[in-house]
Structure 1
Amino acid sequence: MIHKLAVKLTSYIENNSKINKLDELEQIQYAITTILNELFKIVILIILFSVIGKLNYLLFSMLILLSTRLFSGGLHAKTLLGCLIWTTLFFALTSIIAPLLPRLNQSIYYGLSLFNLLVIIVRAPYPNSIRPIKKKKRKQYLKILAISFSIFWTYIILFHINNSSYLNCGLATILLVSSQLIYIKKEV
């Protein structure tokens, strides 16, 4: 259904604009499909986490995820259903389980944060096979952004969040983002 809608929107753009090159139309269709898939996923997640009373944790985790993973990259499922399942599992860990954990010793949080930053520095960005990073300058730019957002969120989480539930939620989000970079081989 999403694919059909993306095809119709791309066809509309082709017929009502000066864009007619196949490469450009394929890029537009890919972008539309990606946006529609993400919107579908976000709506499902918001409904689900609202029903179980964990919407605040979901939104906090989602904010961290979107601002770090966008630049660091990570694993991608091959289907929308697979992506929805993995994303739901991701947010179940960060927004349901992590907030239930007790507050840990501060040195553990510092150690995990340092580990996260090292992984981001060494492994980011991880390109997507559909959207490879071809230019070295672009790769460096994405790496700098991934590192910057990771440092920003680590600082906010460690030094400005006193609530252990949000502390654990935020740190779990960053750790799950960086752990994806460890277990994937760079193919692209």
Structure 2
Amino acid sequence: MHNLIDIFAYKIYKEKLLSNSDIRKMKYAMKVIWSELEKFIIFLLFFVVLNKVPLFLFSFAVLLSIRSFSGGLHFENNLPCFITSFGFFSLTVFILPHLFTMTIHTALILTLVSIIIISYRSPRPSSFRPILNKKRKRILKYLSLFSTLLWIFVLFKFLLIYNKTFFACGIWSIFLQASQLSIGKEEKQ
């Protein structure tokens, strides 16, 4: 697929439809989207086999809606990213919800810690796409915090009562995403 992306980018370059820097950004975005799509399909098939698709999709939705604004851990190639993502979803779907009973007190502590981390450490962009504009950085911080608070509201308002497994999965998804921010590299200015 990367060859097709390169061919497409070369065609855009030859026709002078975009500047060189825009073509590089386009290629990067297309490669990231393709890589994420491949990873998602592999994970989806894995969770289909284990009959855990709804929990995986829920954890994925929580992660995607926060991580899109907050960033997190970033790797230079796909294998460490795949392994880390696999570990994330294994923890949120299989391990942590069944290893620890999610009490209201535990959930409150985890969400409070998550809010504090996201408030101070967000955003953590990829070094390939640094955020140079301070206003944009502030907006992303607010959006990641808003998304986190919205999920916490949904979890406590609806899922705590109706589905304890989804509640625990959501709390762990938020907490692990916040944890990624605390160990992610600081962007160089």
Aligned-partner Cα distance in 2 for 1:23–1:46: 34
CA apart distance, 1:21: 1.8
Counterpart check, 1:3 vs 2:6: no
CA apart distance, 1:43: 0.7
Q: 2:105 aligns with which of 104, 107, 132?
A: 107
Aligned-partner Cα distance in 2 for 1:91–1:105: 21
How many residues align? The count is: 186
Q: Which residue of 1 aligns with 2:11?
A: 12
Q: Which residue of 1 aligns with 2:94?
A: 96
Counterpart check, 1:174 vs 2:181: no
What amino acid is aligned across from residue 128 of structure 1 in structure 2? S
Unaligned ranges ≥5, structure 1: none
| Structure-2-length-normalised TM-score | 0.92
Change (3 A) 1:154 1:4: same
- Give RMSD over aligned pairs: 1.5
Q: 1:118 aligns with which of 116, 119, 126?
A: 116
Does the residue aligned with 2:153 lie in a helix, a strand or coil?
helix
Q: C-alpha offsets along residues 46-85 of structure 1, whole Å, 9 cap, x if unaligned? A: 1111111111111000001110001111001221122111
Over 6 Å off, 4+ runs: none
Greater shift, 158-167 or 36-45, is seen at 158-167
CA apart distance, 1:4: 1.9
Counterpart check, 1:81 vs 2:79: yes
